[in-house]
A and B are shown apart, each in its own frame.
Chain A
Amino acid sequence: MGAVVRLLWQTVFLAIGQVWANKVRAVLTALGIIIGVASVISVISFLNAGRDWMLDQIDSQVGSRTMWIWGDVPDAQRGVMSWADVRVNTTEARLLLERAPSIEDLTPMCNRSWEIGYGKETVRGASVRGVWASWHDVESRQVVLGRPLSRIDNEERRHVCLINEVAIEELKLDVDPVGDYLLINGRRFLIIGVLETKESGGIFGGGQPRTELYIPFNTHKMMDPYSGTWFQANMVDAEQADETQAEVRFVLRTHRGLSGDDEDTFEMEIVASAIDFFNNFAMVITGGATVVVAISLFVGGIGIMNIMLVSVSERTREIGLRKAVGAQPPVVLMQFLVEAVVLCVIGGFVGLAFAFVLTLIPKAVPDFPLDEVPLSAVAVAIGMGFSALVGVVFGILPAIKAARLNPIDALRHE
């Protein structure tokens, strides 16, 4: 056992010595391996970084557990049903909270553009949303000044509102506007708090943040009973998206008395589907890269096999000598196999270095959405593993050839 370890050890050095003695040849030979490993590592690293970036974006915008539910007329029912017939309502919101344990939090929402006024300033078409107090749990947006909306605000239909920081600028409000009044569609509302402005952008597009106001849901409905309504919910677990959707569907279908083959009169959407979309995209990229990698590793492997065959015939006398002093066939086999593997692994390291350089590019390119592209440990493991595997697969034939040589024939070789 000890002898085997020592032999392996010495064989590795022997092999490194061999490779070092033929540096240029080794690099040219290992080019396929280098390209293969560099592409495996960089593609996986970039995809990982892209996915992380996207999840980050989603989290910073809405959170990956977010789910939307709204009423929808099935295609077949157009003309029979109206939007108003299928609109989600607060009864259903309460039902879901009660009966769908996979829903953690939920708020009904409605939205309208109204004119906002403060003193001489007016903003047209600002988004005013009606929400429950639970909105603060569903969408984590910090209240930087004042207080959040409460249940009582909603139940008593109070004329209170939260504004975002942009509104302060656009309406030229006081730096601390809490306690001031402004006009929404001509009605006086008390400003109870200020929300952080979320930068919209990234994957959801958007551009400049706009004035946003949040008022109690019931107050909103009182001002306009016909505005569109939907639910925004938080799932308990983003991984359980399918189960959650099934639960929601069951509760709503039961409540709406839909039977067997009736179509759903509602729709839902989860952020996770954006992740699915990215995963599909990543799969296509990975598939393409796999083909490139497979081809380059195969070509690399053939190169390795060729060079090892050359090496075996160049060193036939040496092999003969080693056998003459007692190298057993399996030992010779191992020596050449290790040499092929070392050659490939060195190629792998060079490929790794290339991949590393590639991952530095985003930092150098201004405005590139990804800043940090960390080398994926898994990718490095896969890349190095594959290069070693190529060494074994394509090195075995030359190694067998060397191991089978008859010592005296080998020694006579010119």
Chain B
Amino acid sequence: MNPASTPSDVTIDIRGMRKIYRVGDETVRALDGVDLTIRNNEFVAIMGASGSGKSTLMNILGCLDQPTTGRYVLNGKPTHKMGMSRLARVRNEEIGFIFQSFELLSRASSLKNVMLPMLYSRRHLFSARRRAKRALDLVGLADRMGHRPNQLSGGQRQRVAIARALVNEPSILLADEPTGNLDSKTTVEIIELFRRLHRQGQTIVIVTHEEDVAGHAERIVRLRDGKVISDAATDEDPIHRDWVRRMAEGRGSMVEVTDAEHELNAMADANKPGPEVRRGWFGKKRPAEGSTVLPGGDDESGAV
């Protein structure tokens, strides 16, 4: 998916990145010296407590925002040296961004929403509609092209947003808490979609605070107070390993949430109490279809 001319397979290269906000007299170091390299076809999860700078980092990765200092080279292009218009072009051609709140145009159909990036593209002048249909097909919404966002479920809306992010064949797909507004079942569907895209060669960076979502990534980058505190393969990430172990043992906050969910289900289904089924989730190895993704425990729990 990357141009063959790129000598290395480095997609994202960040050096010494700082983002400092000044609010009144206070200065907030949202990012405080971040170095990060992401290679082609990686699937990276960025994790961290609320306020740790995840969104700030993502917005800069997505060229929606610019760092106060530091270098950001995307596919060999130094974006920190670009102006508004060139950045807009980079966003259009190389980046697919997925928001927690979907950000769909409420008055436009799915198809029109997906066509939006091509409105601002020089490349797909005559193929916009065809490409948009293909993208919707890819996310499994071929039969929802004429629907407006308010006629779609949350998961479907997010899939429209994903189709929109994919339609220009970006070299990198960025998702800032894409499942944050979704229920657990829909979260599974979306994550499945990401996995499939990744298998097809898509480079993906996803922000999440759910360990089970992060478990699908190959690599977890943890932020704290604007600094990278851990960057390791998912299997080797100590917090994640701990979480997996606790899951396997049926301990921890996850269980409580699961139990609460069962109770609610039972109440809703009063005359026929559901069977006591404990559903497990073991890292990347998902046992069977139909299993429910459990909402992650608070991401502070394992912070060292």
Question: Interface residues, chain A, CB within 8 Å of chain B?
Answer: 2-3, 6-7, 10, 17, 21, 317-318, 320-331, 406-408, 411
Contact = CB atoms under 8 A, between A and B. Distances in A.
A326 B91 contact: yes
Given A326-B92, A329-B88, A321 B105 contact: yes
Given A3-B122, A321-B116, A324-B62, 18 more contacts: A3-B121, A3-B125, A7-B119, A318-B105, A320-B103, A321-B103, A325-B91, A325-B97, A326-B121, A327-B119, A328-B84, A329-B88, A331-B120, A406-B65, A407-B64, A407-B91, A408-B59, A411-B103
Interface in B70-126: 84-85, 88-89, 91-93, 97, 99, 103, 105, 107, 116-117, 119-122, 125
B120 A326 contact: yes
Nearest to A17: B107
A330 B89 CA distance: 12
Q: Which 4 A-B pairs have the closest CB atoms?
A: A326-B92, A325-B117, A328-B88, A326-B120
Given A6-B125, A318-B105, A326-B91, A411 B119 contact: no
Contacts of A2: 125
Nearest to A323: B88
B164 interface: yes
Nearest to A329: B84
B99 A325 contact: no
A364 to B, nearest CB: 43
Most buried by A among B103, B117, B119, B121: B119
Most buried by B among A7, A325, A408, A411: A325
A411 B91 CA distance: 15
Interface of B: 59, 62, 64-65, 84-85, 88-89, 91-93, 97, 99, 103, 105, 107, 116-117, 119-122, 125, 164, 168
A326 B59 contact: no
A3 B85 CA distance: 16
B163 to A, nearest CB: 12
B125 A326 contact: no
Contacts of B97: 324-325
Contacts of A326: 88-89, 91-93, 117, 120-121, 168
A392 B59 CA distance: 34
Contacts of B164: 325
B75 to A, nearest CB: 16
Given A408-B64, A408-B65, A325 B84 contact: no
Contacts of A325: 91-92, 97, 116-117, 120, 164
B125 A328 contact: no
A322 B104 CA distance: 10
15 contacts: A3-B121, A6-B125, A7-B120, A17-B107, A318-B105, A323-B88, A324-B97, A325-B91, A325-B120, A326-B88, A326-B89, A326-B121, A327-B119, A329-B85, A406-B65
B103 A317 contact: yes
Nearest to A325: B117
A325 B62 CA distance: 10
Given A3-B125, A21-B107, A326-B93, A411 B85 contact: no
B64 A411 contact: yes
B119 to A, nearest CB: 6
A10 B64 contact: no
B102 to A, nearest CB: 10
Contact of B64 (A21, A318, A324, A328): A324
B115 to A, nearest CB: 9
A328 B90 CA distance: 10
Contacts of A21: 107
A321 B92 CA distance: 11
Contacts of A324: 62, 64, 91, 97, 103
Contacts of A318: 105
Most buried by A among B88, B89, B99, B168: B88
B117 A328 contact: no
A204 to B, nearest CB: 64
Contacts of B119: 7, 10, 327
Contacts of A406: 65
Nearest to B124: A3
B89 A328 contact: yes
Nearest to A403: B84
A157 B65 CA distance: 105
